Amino acid sequence: MRALPVRRIATTVLCASLLLGTAGPVVAAESDSPQGSAQEAARAPVPEANKLLAQVKTLGDAGGVLTPVTDLLTAVLKADGGQLPAADATKLAAPVKDAITKAAATAPKAPETSVAPEAPALPQTPALPKALPDEDKAAAEPKDDALKALQTAVDTLLKSATGGDVTKVAGAVPPVLTGLVNVVAATLLGSGLPAPDLAGLSALPKAPALS
């Protein structure tokens, strides 16, 4: 009577051993499966993520300037006679100035030249003439120039939109639009963003060389 339970116990132990022996390789195989490799790849960072994030931020900065300026233009063009109450003009001007200031702070600057050691004083010579305006403009940072020009155009528009002369408003709007286009173009040219590949699109002009 006792032989039957012993036999059953031995059979149960044998089955358990076989199950345990096959379970190990199965677990290892799952870790080496294509699904496991895909999970590991999903946890890895995107190649050149920092470079791509910098390009995304550049576009975001440009958009930050576009939105408040276009809001101002829309308000002026929809107003009767292009005239805004002083309070409305001030309210619309504040985000424009903030956006331009922020974009100018993030614009790349030309590298500073190292200062040479002091040399013995030389006899005074006649002062050299100042650089021509075109040379100054070519040596300046294009995006910084575009932002300054845009702010000047916006100031002129605000003055016209609160001065009571409709004809001045009509003449002040196009420079603001041109200023926006210049900001976008300068941002794209100096940001390392990929070149446009739209069929039939003319090539963007090259940025002026910095002296």
Q: Does residue 71 contact residue 99 with C-beta atoms inside 8 Å?
A: no
Residue 98 included in any domain: yes
Mean pLDDT for 8-17 is: 53
Q: What was the pLDDT predicted at 24?
A: 52
Give the domain CATH number at 150: 1.20.120
Residue 83 included in any domain: yes
**CA-to-CA distance for 20 and 36, rounded, in angstroms?**
22
Q: What was the pLDDT predicted at 45?
A: 73
Contacts with 170 (C-beta within 8 Å, 6 or more apart), sequence order = 82
Q: Does residue 118 contact residue 188 with C-beta atoms inside 8 Å?
A: no
Q: Is the pLDDT of residue 129 over 70?
A: no
Structure tokens at 23: 């379970």
Residue 194 included in any domain: no
Structural domain of 138: 50-107+133-189
3-state helix, strand, coil in the chain (%, to 5): 70, 0, 30
Residue 99 included in any domain: yes
**CA-to-CA distance for 55 and 46, rounded, in angstroms?**
14
**CA-to-CA distance for 146 and 111, rounded, in angstroms?**
19
DSSP sequence for 116-177:
PPP-------PPPPPPPHHHHHHHS-HHHHHHHHHHHHHHHHHHHHTTT-HHHHHHHHHHHH
User: pLDDT tens across 56-98, in order?
Assistant: 888 887 889 999 999 999 999 999 999 999 999 999 999 999 9
Structure tokens at 201: 């699109």
Q: What was the pLDDT predicted at 132?
A: 39
Residue 180 included in any domain: yes
Q: What was the pLDDT predicted at 183?
A: 92
Total domains, the chain: 1
Residue 27 included in any domain: no
Residue 196 included in any domain: no
Most confident region among 7-11, 61-65, 123-127, 144-148 by mean pLDDT: 144-148
Q: What is the pTM of this model?
A: 0.60
Angle separating helix axes 86-106 and 142-161, nearest 10 degrees: 180
126: alpha, beta or left? (left if phi > 0; alpha if psi -120 to 50):
beta
Q: Does residue 203 contact residue 68 with C-beta atoms inside 8 Å?
A: no
Which contacts (CB < 8 Å, 24+ apart) does range 107-110 have? 107/141, 107/143, 107/144, 107/147, 108/141, 108/143, 108/190, 109/141, 109/144, 110/139, 110/141, 110/210
